Every structure is written in C-alpha cells, then in structure tokens.
Amino acid sequence: MRNISVPIHTDRLRSLADRFDHFRSELANTAPLTGTEGLRQLTRHLRTSHELTVEALTRLTAIDGSQVTQMTGALAALDCLAQTVQHSGHVSDSLTTAVAANAYEGTPWDPAKDADVIGRGLRHMDARNAIAAHFDDATASLAICAEGCLVVADHLANAFPGPDRTQARAADNAVTASRVPAAVNLSAPAGIRR
C-alpha cells in the first residue's frame, strides 16, 4: 500500500472540480460554429475534455492502492471517482459526435453572403442545432464531474483531517476539558467529595 499526501490530493480534486465547472460554463455560453471554424472550435474543446479526463484518471490512480482505501466509505469514494472519469469520457463522446454533425465546406457559412444558397444555409443551420444539442449533453456530464470531484474531496478531508483541523479539534477538546472542575470526582455520589 502506498502512502499519499491526502491534503494535496484533496486540493487537486477541488481544483479539478473548478476546471470541470469552468469548462461547463464555457460550453454553456459558447455559440456553436460550423465549417472550418467549427472544426477549430471543437478541436479546442476536445483537447480540454481529454486533458480533464486524463487528470480525473490520474486522481483515481493515485488514490487507488493508497492508505485512502482503508477509510470508511473508500469503495464508494473510488466508485464515485471512477464514474467521474466515465462522465468525463461522455463529454469527449458528445464533442466527437458534434464533429461528425458539423457541416464541412472549407469556410464558415456567412448568412449575408450565402442568403441565395438555401441548401447550404440549411445544412449549416441544422449542423449548428445538432452541435448545440451535443454541447448541452456535454455540459450535463461536466456538472456531474465537478460534483463527483467535490464529493470525494470532502470525503477525504473528513476522513483524513489536515494539521489545521487536527489542531482545531485538539483546541476544542482542551476547552471542553477545562469546563469540568478538576477537584470534582464525577464517580463519587452527590455531596461526597474526596
């Protein structure tokens, strides 16, 4: 069994959750492009998606086989992280399906220039609608990924408190202990002092 720095991995999971959420927001606010510009846009999004999937898989690999597997709820935490990897893969799948839905013509469609070419315009409009639907699917999976990372990070933080939390617990115990008078024997019957 490997020993890992749990606070470092907790921070990395929280950072990964932020990255998933940022990408979700970016996709939700992106107007899909078509043609060559659409391919560039999808390529950039696919690259980001693959990077996030690799990072989620790296977190799962680091935690699996470590001392974390001895904590209560370890199997559920690992399963949650594995599902995060799976949903991250769904994001890539949605984006690669969007690549297939794109209308390829070598140049983006410009309504002002191509108003007389009805068929081409309809192909691009249909492609934009299909790509937008795939973006929606991807954003739903990204929300699940962000939540999964936070759930595991919180579980790790609770199961393996860092030095700050350990010191805070020690201080709480000291305050509680100071409230009990030292001279009182709590095992003796009431009214009898030793």
Q: How confident is the model at residue 18 (pLDDT cuts 50, 70, 90)?
A: very high
Nearest one of 148, 140, 152, 129 to 23, comparing CA atoms:
140
| Average pLDDT over every residue of 83-91 | 97
For residues 48 and 104, the model is more confident at 48
Query: Tens of pLDDT along 55-67?
Result: 999 999 999 989 8
Query: Tens of pLDDT along 139-189?
Result: 999 999 999 999 999 999 998 876 654 444 444 444 444 443 343 333 434
In whole angstroms, give the CA distance from residue 86 to residue 179: 51
Question: How far is C-alpha 126 from the chain's CA centre?
Answer: 31
Can you give the three-state secondary structure of 97-160, one letter per residue? Answer: HHHHHCCCCCCCCCCCCCCCCHHHHHHHHHHHHHHHHHHHHHHHHHHHHHHHHHHHHHHHHHHC
pTM of the model: 0.76
Query: Tens of pLDDT along 67-79?
Result: 888 888 889 999 9
Asked if residues 97 and 135 have their Cβ atoms less than 8 Å apart, the reply is no
For position 186, what pLDDT does the model report?
36
